[in-house]
Structure 1
Amino acid sequence: MNLNSLNFFKNLRTGNRQYAVIGLGRFGRAVCMTLHNLGYEVLGIDTNERQVDQAIADEIAAHALQLDSTQPAALQEAGIFEFDTVIVAIGNYVQESIITTLNLKEGGVPHVVAKASSEVHGKLLQRVGADHVVFPEHEMGCELARSLTRPGILDRFELDPDHSIVEVVVPKEFDGKSILELDLRSRYGVNVLAVCHNDRFEINPTPNVRLVKGAILIVVGSNQGINQLPV
């Protein structure tokens, strides 16, 4: 699972250096691997010994433990309640996911991010205290639909439901024209953050920069305006 296009990491506290991830399925492994590669210390947890051994062998986490997260005593003994942020990635096992989230909050974990497999599951997680609930399958589905209908948009980071930062391929309609000539702010409600051509980025380009078809344009603005770009 590719987490690059998900909003998942917006829900994590950037001041943290340590995270615990409970559930080492596809989503949990992807979270562990991404955090580990970003330089954070990650503890992976699963009830399945094979999953734990595989996480250690693949070096996707600094440490990995086999334990039953529905048992508060096991979490306490492993020191999980001392973590500032814990990710509950047991999305396909609703009862275990809810009990684990409840245990973490009752154990004093300040920030719990939980994966939900359905809207009802998400509501239940919120009821027992989850600070953030994520729906990765839903987000990936939305991202797939966007990529199929708007292939010129290479990547998107949603700032909120109405605004995004996107990476787009410069279309032929923009070829040879300057940012000033295109007047993107007035026409589409977007601002240019950077232009990339031949693997070289120009950050905060001047209005006189001329765009080349096939280059990369990074803009920020309303989703409504972004969706009107000729890409």
Structure 2
Amino acid sequence: MNLSSLAFFRTLRPDHKKQFAVIGLGRFGRAVCLTLRRLGYEVLAMDADEKRVAASLTDQVASHILQLDSTQSSALHEAGVFELDTVIVAIGNYVEESIITTLNLKEGGVPHVIAKASSEIHEKLLRKVGADHVVFPEHETGCSLAHSLTRPGILDRFELDPDHSIVEVVVPPEFDGKTIAELELRNRYGLNLLAVSQDDKFEINPRPERVLHQGSAIVVIGCNTAVEKLPLR
């Protein structure tokens, strides 16, 4: 269960036409395209780089793939991008192109623009030109790595805000063979249990009499200080 992906996909508002555009076909852009396609959405993908477009066409990462310069408002208009509800600007490493593209999209009337930033200054500039949401994939990956190195028992973490998280953790030996009711996670730790996993299958809102075993995992929600109190190895 990749909780960190929620940090990006929670920004994607439901669209009755199920159509998105992704501008920039680097690793991040391709990953967004492929995931949206697996979720059943139509995706219009584009990049100015001929080789990236050719590779994306070969790999069929999106429903429609175009080569165009997104800094040219007329090119975006001709491609029909301004008619879409949600556009993801995945040009994180080219600040000027990223900002101009975002500006073009907002001036063209796109209601929901999500942009990838590579720095805090980049983020401020993107917000100045109208980006509705800004994401930092590298930052989120770095934070996740740091957590996994310092607390190996934590499999995944999604930060709701600076003080609260949804966390997937390995069932510790102290919890082995006990029921959810016996653990009293809310009373003892201030945490609410959302799901139990076994062999990559998740049971949402498990019954209080469900017995936990080592080798499985639980997903809990609560404040970060409470998570740190769990007896994780």
TM range, smaller chain: over 0.9
Q: Is 1:27 paired with 2:28?
A: yes
Task: Identify unmatched segments of 5+ residues in structure 1.
Answer: none
Q: Is 1:157 paired with 2:158?
A: yes
Structure 1 partner of 2:123: 122
- State the alpha-carbon separation in 2 of the partners of residues 200 and 70 from structure 1: 44
Structure 2 partner of 1:8: 8
> What one-letter code is carried by the residue in structure 2 that aligns with 1:14?
P
Could you report, residue by residue, the CA deviation over 1:99-131 in whole angstroms, capped at 9, with x for unpaired residues? 000000000000000000000000000000000
Instruction: Say which SS state the counterpart of residue 155 (structure 2) adopts.
Output: strand
- State the alpha-carbon separation in 1 of the partners of residues 41 and 227 from structure 2: 34
Query: Which residues in structure 2 correspond to 1:175-190 (within 5 Å)?
Result: 175-190=176-191
| 1:4 Cα offset (Å) | 5.7
Query: Which residues in structure 2 correspond to 1:77-156 (within 5 Å)?
Result: 77-156=78-157
Percent identity between matched residues is 69
Count, aligned residues? 229
- State the alpha-carbon separation in 2 of the partners of residues 121 and 177 from structure 1: 49
Instruction: Say which SS state the counterpart of residue 210 (structure 1) adopts.
Output: coil
- State the alpha-carbon separation in 1 of the partners of residues 31 and 200 from structure 2: 27
> What one-letter code is carried by the residue in structure 2 that aligns with 1:128?
V
- State the alpha-carbon separation in 2 of the partners of residues 98 and 126 from structure 1: 9
Instruction: Say which SS state the counterpart of residue 10 (structure 2) adopts.
Output: helix
Structure 2 partner of 1:229: 230
> What one-letter code is carried by the residue in structure 1 that aligns with 2:13?
R
Q: Is 1:41 paired with 2:42?
A: yes
> What one-letter code is carried by the residue in structure 1 that aligns with 2:38?
N
- State the alpha-carbon separation in 2 of the partners of residues 35 and 205 from structure 1: 29
Could you report, residue by residue, the CA deviation over 1:103-160 in whole angstroms, capped at 9, with x for unpaired residues? 0000000000000000000000000000001111111100111111121122223333
| 1:48 Cα offset (Å) | 0.7
- State the alpha-carbon separation in 2 of the partners of residues 116 and 197 from structure 1: 36
Could you report, residue by residue, the CA deviation over 1:55-98 in whole angstroms, capped at 9, with x for unpaired residues? 11101100100011001111111111101100001110000000
Computed over aligned residues only, the root mean square deviation of the Cα atoms, in angstroms, reads 1.7
Which of 206-215 and 116-125 deviates more? 206-215
- State the alpha-carbon separation in 2 of the partners of residues 19 and 137 from structure 1: 22
Structure 1 partner of 2:73: 72
- State the alpha-carbon separation in 1 of the partners of residues 139 and 77 from structure 2: 33
Please say if residues 198 and 216 of structure 2, whose CA atoms lie closer than 8 Å, have aligned partners that are also in contact: yes
- State the alpha-carbon separation in 2 of the partners of residues 202 and 21 from structure 1: 33
Please say if residues 3 and 157 of structure 2, whose CA atoms lie closer than 8 Å, have aligned partners that are also in contact: no
Which of 209-218 and 52-61 deviates more? 209-218
